[in-house]
């Protein structure tokens, strides 16, 4: 049941407090308010909780690509589609460490590793443990996205020192089944609960531009904001239309909805790092600057993400320098 409080637009002074007790109506009211008011409120909260002229740099590499049995409609690594993604086995530890050293030299603070699995096999976990320990020995934070986990697997990763586990909810619960049929929304929530139980931090976000409605973006943000605690890291991706996937001809969404999503996320989750993730290669510098103003304070840094292009390292540094934004140390 909605109350007057649910429909009244909160001010910057009223928001900015950490809570997981949002109502869906409150989230919708925040998201749909006048754009200038939304961005002003988000930026005010951003300034209260972070150095607003600083950005956290992460590097993402694919340590095992292609051949995934899941049918995510946006993903070229799915075995269900004929795409450009190369199928490779799990990388050797020394190769991953070599990439981690380069990432650190280029200024990355966190090293994120992705593997195209529905869920890893127990025999793979031992090698992943070695990779995590070796990367951490280089002085980097570690994050992994390996699919769904059992409790024993999550505990093993935590014992190896994994700092963050990425497991995106992608979109709203209602729209989820239109994007993926090989698992359900609750499967995602179950793994997130297991990750929390093992003592790791959570990296969880999603994708805009998959044909979803604004109500789906509201519901997606509501799901994130009512997690207790909030995800420490929230990646917001713009769909990258990949050849061979069902969404290769998607019309996407306009820039305004991306900024609205980021700004609303900043208001709802004041202390979370909000990462401007996939799709940056197709964004203008002006749009990226707007996203940073609206509360994004993390990016993936490097020439490539899992299978998609990313702005070149030097191009990113030039943009950040022009904006007066420094990499977080």
DSSP-derived 3-state class of residue 326: strand
Residue 2 structure tokens:
């909605």
- The answer to whether residue 217 is catalytic is no
- The answer to whether residue 204 is catalytic is no
Euclidean distance between CA atoms 153 and 148, whole angstroms: 10
- The answer to whether residue 41 is catalytic is no
Q: Which of 41, 110, 203, 241 is catalytic?
A: 203
Give percent helix, percent strand, percent coil of the chain, each to the nearest 5: 40, 15, 45
Euclidean distance between CA atoms 53 and 210, whole angstroms: 31
Q: Which of 72, 183, 204, 266 is catalytic?
A: 72
Q: Which of 68, 217, 241, 266 is catalytic?
A: 68
Q: Which of 41, 75, 204, 291 is catalytic?
A: 75
- Residue 101 exposed, middle or buried by CB count within 10 Å (0-12, 13-18, 19+): middle
Distances 96 to 121, 126, 139, 169, 204 between C-alpha atoms, Å: 19, 15, 14, 27, 23
Tell me if 170 sits within 8 A of 190, measured CB to CB.
no
Tell me if 275 sits within 8 A of 237, measured CB to CB.
no
Q: Which of 217, 266, 275, 280 is catalytic?
A: 275
Tell me if 273 sits within 8 A of 232, measured CB to CB.
yes
Q: How far is CA 292 from the centre of its chain?
A: 15
- The answer to whether residue 75 is catalytic is yes
Tell me if 112 sits within 8 A of 60, measured CB to CB.
yes
User: In this structure, how many other beta carbons lie within 10 angstroms of the beta carbon of residue 77?
Assistant: 25
Q: Which of 41, 110, 143, 260 is catalytic?
A: 143
Q: Which of 41, 112, 204, 291 is catalytic?
A: 112
- The answer to whether residue 203 is catalytic is yes
Which residues are catalytic, by number? 68, 72, 75, 112, 143, 203, 275
């Amino acid at each position: 049941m909605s109350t007057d409080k649910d429909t009244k637009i909160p001010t910057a002074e009223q928001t900015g407090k950490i809570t997981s007790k949002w109502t869906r109506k409150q989230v919708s009211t925040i998201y749909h308010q006048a754009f200038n008011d939304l961005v002003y409120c988000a930026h005010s909260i951003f300034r209260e909780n972070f150095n607003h002229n600083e950005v956290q740099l992460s590097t993402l590499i694919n340590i095992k690509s292609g051949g995934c049995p899941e049918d995510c409609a946006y993903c070229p690594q799915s075995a269900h589609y004929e795409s450009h993604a190369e199928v490779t086995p799990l990388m050797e530890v020394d190769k991953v460490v070599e990439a981690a050293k380069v990432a650190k030299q280029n200024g990355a603070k966190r090293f994120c590793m992705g593997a195209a699995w529905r869920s890893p096999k127990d025999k793979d976990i031992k090698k992943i443990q070695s990779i995590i320990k070796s990367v951490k020995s280089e002085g980097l934070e570690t994050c992994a996205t390996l699919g769904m986990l059992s409790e024993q697997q999550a505990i093993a990763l935590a014992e190896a020192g994994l700092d963050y586990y990425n497991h995106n909810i992608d979109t709203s619960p209602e729209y989820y089944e239109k994007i993926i049929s090989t698992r359900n929304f609750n499967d995602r929530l179950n793994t997130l609960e297991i990750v929390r139980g093992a003592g790791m931090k959570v990296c969880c976000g999603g994708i805009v531009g998959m044909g979803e409605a604004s109500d789906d973006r509201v519901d997606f943000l509501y799901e994130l904001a009512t997690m207790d605690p909030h995800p420490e890291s929230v990646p917001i991706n713009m769909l990258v239309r990949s050849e061979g996937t069902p969404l290769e001809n998607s019309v996407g969404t306009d820039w305004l909805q991306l900024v609205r999503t980021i700004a609303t996320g900043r208001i709802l989750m004041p202390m979370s790092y909000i990462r401007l993730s996939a799709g940056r290669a197709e964004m203008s510098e002006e749009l990226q600057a707007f996203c940073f103003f609206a509360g994004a304070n993390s990016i993936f840094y490097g020439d490539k993400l899992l299978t998609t292009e990313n702005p070149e390292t030097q191009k990113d540094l030039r943009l950040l320098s022009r904006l007066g934004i420094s990499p977080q140390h």
